Amino acid sequence: MAIAVVFFVNKRCFDLENLHCKIDIVNGQSDLLGFQNPVGLNCHQDLPGLEDPAGHDQQSQYQKLVRIQDVDSSILVDLKYATTDNFTGMVLYDVLDNAYLQPDVARMLANAHLYLKSIHPGLRLLVYDAVRPLSIQRTMWERVKDTPYHRYVAHPDRLSLHNFGAAADLTIADSLGRPLDMGTPFDHFGRAAGISDEEGLIMQGVLTLQQVQNRQLLRRVMHHAGFRSISGEWWHFNACSLPEAKQRYELIEN
């Protein structure tokens, strides 16, 4: 099942010309994501259909997701769950190889990135996670459900905006691609990752003023583009509410 998913993602998104074509047709306009067709391809010709080598009907789930770096190639991606450098110590995205979002959410992220570059030309957004299939959410839950960390991972029955491709985990990187110091790593389990009492955390010596200012810059650019923060994780941003996501988007199951 998972192999079929990745095939679709790669087939659809890794071929830039074809991606332009599919977005053009699905949305009835050529500039949905604000990028140019680099080769002057006629997007209404030579459009291959999605293939399904495993015989699964996954097409509807994935046909509208786009690879973030196809929307803005200067956004950095370090997909933590595709490595062992995450809280589970496991490669969870063994077949999902890059960060994907709903097209309108990816466009919001590109707008945030444009805004960041306009106020700090040397800085870049660095994405750690984007769409997270529900099957992966279940794996995460199984990993933490009997540990003190269970409260930091959404129960798969509750769903997450990640499961709809409508949330992103990210930070800001400097001109060399190094993450700014936000006071904790991505997916840190603890109150230092929260954003609701950063002044108190400074007073207690848990965070420095510079770390909080770095977080504030991240929030400023993401909120500028319409994203919303959550209290417990400085790195997580939702594009909309969960009820809105359920209305607008299809749940990504696998």
Contacts of Zn ion in 209-238 (CB under 5 A): 236
Rule CB under 5 A: say whether 169 interacts with Zn ion: yes
Nearer to Zn ion, 62 or 227 (CB): 227
Strands 167-173 and 233-238: antiparallel
The least CB distance from residue 237 to Zn ion, in Å, is: 8
Nearer to Zn ion, 18 or 184 (CB): 184
Sole window of 61-69, 166-174, 190-198, 204-212 interacting with Zn ion (rule: CB under 5 A): 166-174
Sole window of 74-82, 164-172, 182-190, 216-224 interacting with Zn ion (rule: CB under 5 A): 164-172
Rule CB under 5 A: say whether 187 interacts with Zn ion: no
SS3 for 76? strand
What type of residue sits at position 123?
A: L
The least CB distance from residue 161 to Zn ion, in Å, is: 8
Chain position whose Cβ is nearest to Zn ion: 236
Say how far apart CA 221 and CA 241 lie, in whole Å. 19
Q: What angle do CA 134, 67, 132 make, to 5 degrees?
A: 15
The torsion angles phi and psi of 170, rounded to 5 degrees, stand at: -160, 170
**What separation in angstroms does the CA of 73 have from each of 97, 101, 106, 139?**
15, 14, 12, 30
125, 76 Cβ separation under 8 angstroms:
yes
Nearer to Zn ion, 187 or 198 (CB): 187
x/- mask, Zn ion, residues 21-40, rule CB under 5 A, reads --------------------
Rule CB under 5 A: say whether 132 interacts with Zn ion: no
Nearer to Zn ion, 19 or 140 (CB): 140
Which residues 6+ apart lie within 8 Å of 138 measured at CB?
156
Binding site for Zn ion (CB under 5 A): 169, 236
